[in-house]
């Protein structure tokens, strides 16, 4: 997860996350389709104008979710409850209400995804953890532990590839998925545990105690632009709920 | 009860592994749910709550289950889940559910029963989130109860039981000698015939 050079990337990560979570809570309480649709469009516009998304990037990232969108719409429409029947076949029972609900819920899910993407595509991971320490008062012990752990994602990937190649060289063929899973999962977990122990000892050996009175190379603050983004986003979204 | 540094890092790293598994599972869930529908694909649910029983079973401290699930959900979000921010929020709910299972027994009992209970309660709490956020309240009652039933059973098997299988296999390799799970076993006197070079 890396930041880009947009306006959103200069905001305080915790503040941004909080603003987006707040929009999510508002979305959960909106039951009309029009309001949900406008809030989703708002996320897209923010992404394009403030988040530095190109249209192609946006389409490429969001395209897979349209299948998801259709699916949720279908589930809600076909299995939801309602009075005015439009179409009925076997156990599928589509009503006017369920059609409406289906579209609302599908748009809501799409909005959740878009606000999530808005956060992850503009946030630097290290800064995010730092702002969790400074603004959310997370204990440094957990914050630095988390930072060390996240560094492991690419390491696990290369380790998995290494294991696969080693098996291949020795003539092992994956016959079924479950057996292959067992073969790879156990060494991955044991390596993870061994490495975690080594990291913990290394951190303690360098004087890391995890207490709060320490100094930081990078600090994060909440400035006026953070408040401006938070308040304007929330007020615009609240305004949209009354449409 | 304070956490030792190595317990913190262990919890985080196990959560990271689980988070990556969640991400892969979410990708796998999409084509399957398009074939049999989200309700039918509910049998896959259990894997998404496995972090809590794994970490709580090894570390055995209050809060371990909650922290593990939230961290795993955060990793799923940060690595680009197609559930977006709701992956994080549902993780908070599932974590609360599994934490309750261990809290009921006052963090004293860690056996197959409590692990399965944690999977089941995580499923119930995830359903509360689904009712609040994903409009499950619009489904007919029969369908809703079926979904809940499938999720609970899946949580018990893929969450609770599988977690025990994984951790017991790990314990046999001897990497967990320094953690609460093996310490308690040594106290009881059954070491499963394995002693590491202590």
What confidence score (pLDDT) does residue A227 get?
A: 94
Within 8 A of A163 by CB-CB distance, chain B residues are: none
Nearest 10 degrees: CA dihedral of A21, B34, A106, B148? Answer: -70
| Mean pLDDT of the A81-109 span | 75
pLDDT in tens, chain B (198 residues): 689 999 999 999 999 999 988 888 888 887 777 677 667 788 889 999 999 999 999 999 999 999 999 999 999 888 877 787 888 999 999 999 999 999 999 999 999 999 999 999 999 999 999 888 877 777 778 888 988 999 999 999 999 999 999 999 999 999 998 899 988 888 887 555 555 444
Burial class (CB in 10 A: 0-12, 13-18, 19+), B112: middle
CA atoms within 13 A on the CB side of B83: 24
Question: Is the CB of A208 inside 8 Å of chain B's CB atoms?
Answer: yes
DSSP symbols for chain A: ----SSTGGGS-HHHHHHHHHHHHHHHHH---HHHHHHHHHHHHHHHHHTS---HHHHHHHHHHHHHHHHHHHHHHHHHB--SSEEEEETTEEEEHHHHHHHHHHHHHHHHHHHHHHHHHTT--HHHHHHHHHHTT---HHHHHHHHHHHTHHHHHHHHHHHHHHHHHHTT-----HHHHHHHHHHHHHHHHHHHHHHHHHHHHHTT----S----SS-----HHHHHHHHHHHHHHHHHHT-
Distance from CA of B175 to the nearest CA of A (A): 7
Q: What is the C-alpha separation between A46 and A41, in angstroms, rounded?
A: 9
**pTM, entire model:** 0.88
Q: Which of A193, A198, A199, A200 to probe by mutation at the B interface, max B CB count within 10 Å?
A: A193
* Residue A59 binned pLDDT confidence (cut-offs 50, 70, 90): confident
| Mean pLDDT of the A14-22 span | 94
What confidence score (pLDDT) does residue B82 get?
A: 75
What confidence score (pLDDT) does residue A233 get?
A: 94
Q: What is the C-alpha separation between A142 and A153, in angstroms, rounded?
A: 17
Residues pairing with A94 in the sheet: A87
Q: Do A81 and B17 touch (CB under 8 A)?
A: no
What confidence score (pLDDT) does residue B8 get?
A: 93
Nearest 10 degrees: CA dihedral of B133, B135, B136, B137? Answer: 110
Q: Do B20 and A1 touch (CB under 8 A)?
A: no
Question: Is the CB of A167 inside 8 Å of chain B's CB atoms?
Answer: no
DSSP symbols for A119-167: HHTT--HHHHHHHHHHTT---HHHHHHHHHHHTHHHHHHHHHHHHHHHH
Q: Which of residues 73-132 of B touch A (CB under 8 A)?
A: 75, 77-87, 89, 132
Measured from the Cβ of residue B24, the count of other Cβ atoms closer than 10 Å reads 13
Residues written for chain B = 198
**Interior/surface letters A7-46, b for 16+ CB within 10 angstroms, e for the rest:** ebbebbbbbbbbbbeebbebbbebeebebbbbbbebbbeb
Distance from CA of B113 to the nearest CA of A (A): 23
Distance from CA of A75 to the nearest CA of B (A): 7
Distance from CA of B117 to the nearest CA of A (A): 24
Q: Do B13 and A79 touch (CB under 8 A)?
A: no
- Higher-confidence residue of A101 and A222: namely A222
Average pLDDT, chain A: 86
Model confidence pLDDT, tens digit, residues A175-228: 777 777 778 888 888 999 999 999 999 999 999 988 888 889 888 999 999 999
Distance from CA of A128 to the nearest CA of B (A): 11
Question: Is the CB of A199 inside 8 Å of chain B's CB atoms?
Answer: yes
* Residue A82 binned pLDDT confidence (cut-offs 50, 70, 90): low
What confidence score (pLDDT) does residue A204 get?
A: 92
What confidence score (pLDDT) does residue A212 get?
A: 84
Q: Do A210 and B133 touch (CB under 8 A)?
A: no
Closest residue of chain A to B37, computed from CA coordinates: A75
Q: Kindly provide the ipTM of the predicted complex, given to two decimals.
A: 0.85
Residues A130, A159 contacting (CB under 8 angstroms): no
A/B interface, count of CB pairs below 8 Å: 158
Q: Do A112 and B139 touch (CB under 8 A)?
A: no
Q: Which of A13, A148, A189 to probe by mutation at the B interface, max B CB count within 10 Å?
A: A189
Within 8 A of B10 by CB-CB distance, chain A residues are: 193, 196-197, 200
Q: Which of these, A218, A189, A190, lies nearest to A131 by C-alpha position?
A: A218
Q: Do A105 and B20 touch (CB under 8 A)?
A: no
Within 8 A of B5 by CB-CB distance, chain A residues are: 141, 145, 200, 203-204, 208, 210
* Domains of chain B, earliest start first: 5-180 (1.10.1760)
What confidence score (pLDDT) does residue A77 get?
A: 73
What confidence score (pLDDT) does residue B70 get?
A: 94
Distance from CA of A181 to the nearest CA of B (A): 11
Residues pairing with A80 in the sheet: B139
Within 8 A of B4 by CB-CB distance, chain A residues are: 200
Q: Which of these, B54, B49, B50, B74, lies nearest to B64 by C-alpha position?
A: B54
Q: Which of B3, B8, B20 to probe by mutation at the A interface, max A CB count within 10 Å?
A: B8
Domain ranges of chain A: 8-130+221-241, 140-205
- Measured CA to CA in angstroms, residue A206 lies from A35, A140, A178, A199, B4 at distances of 54, 15, 42, 11, 15
| Mean pLDDT of the A160-180 span | 83
Burial class (CB in 10 A: 0-12, 13-18, 19+), B51: buried
Q: Do B175 and A153 touch (CB under 8 A)?
A: no
């Amino acid at each position: 997860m890396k930041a880009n050079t947009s306006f959103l990337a200069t905001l305080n990560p915790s503040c941004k996350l909080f603003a987006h979570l707040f929009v999510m809570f508002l979305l959960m309480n909106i039951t009309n389709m029009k309001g949900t649709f406008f809030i989703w469009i708002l996320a897209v516009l923010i992404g394009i104008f403030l988040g530095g998304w190109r249209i192609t990037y946006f389409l490429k990232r969001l395209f897979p979710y349209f299948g998801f969108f259709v699916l949720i719409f279908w589930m809600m429409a076909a299995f939801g409850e309602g009075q005015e029947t439009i179409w009925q076949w076997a156990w599928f029972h589509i009503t006017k209400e369920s059609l409406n609900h289906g579209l609302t819920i599908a748009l809501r899910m799409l909005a959740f995804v878009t606000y999530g993407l808005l956060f992850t595509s503009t946030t630097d991971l290290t800064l995010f953890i730092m702002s969790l320490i400074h603004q959310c008062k997370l204990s440094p012990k957990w914050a630095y532990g988390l930072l060390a752990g996240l560094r492991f994602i690419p390491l696990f990937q290369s380790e998995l590839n290494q294991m696969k190649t080693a098996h291949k060289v020795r003539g092992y063929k994956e016959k079924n998925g479950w057996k292959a899973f067992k073969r790879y999962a156990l060494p991955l977990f044991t390596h993870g545990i061994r490495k975690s122990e080594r990291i913990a000892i290394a951190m303690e050996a360098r004087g890391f105690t995890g207490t709060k009175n320490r100094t930081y190379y990078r600090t994060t603050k909440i400035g006026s632009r953070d408040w401006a983004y938070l308040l304007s986003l929330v007020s615009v979204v609240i305004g949209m709920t009354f449409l | 009860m304070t956490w030792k540094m190595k317990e913190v890092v262990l919890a985080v790293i196990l959560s990271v592994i689980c988070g990556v598994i969640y991400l892969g599972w979410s990708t796998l869930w999409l084509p399957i749910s398009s074939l049999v529908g989200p309700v039918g694909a509910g049998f896959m649910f259990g894997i998404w709550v496995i972090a809590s029983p794994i970490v709580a079973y090894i570390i055995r401290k209050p809060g371990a289950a909650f922290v593990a699930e939230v961290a795993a959900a955060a990793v799923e979000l940060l690595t680009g889940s197609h559930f977006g921010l709701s992956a994080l929020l549902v993780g908070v709910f599932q974590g609360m559910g599994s934490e309750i299972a261990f809290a009921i027994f006052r963090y004293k009992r860690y056996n197959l029963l409590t692990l399965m209970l944690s999977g089941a309660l995580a499923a119930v709490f995830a359903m509360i989130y689904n009712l609040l956020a994903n409009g499950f309240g619009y489904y007919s009652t029969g369908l809703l109860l079926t979904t809940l039933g499938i999720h609970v059973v899946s949580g018990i098997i893929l969450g609770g039981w599988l977690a025990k299988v994984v951790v017991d296999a790990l314990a046999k390799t001897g990497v967990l000698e320094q953690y609460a799970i093996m310490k308690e076993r040594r106290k009881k006197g059954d070491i499963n015939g394995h002693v590491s070079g202590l």
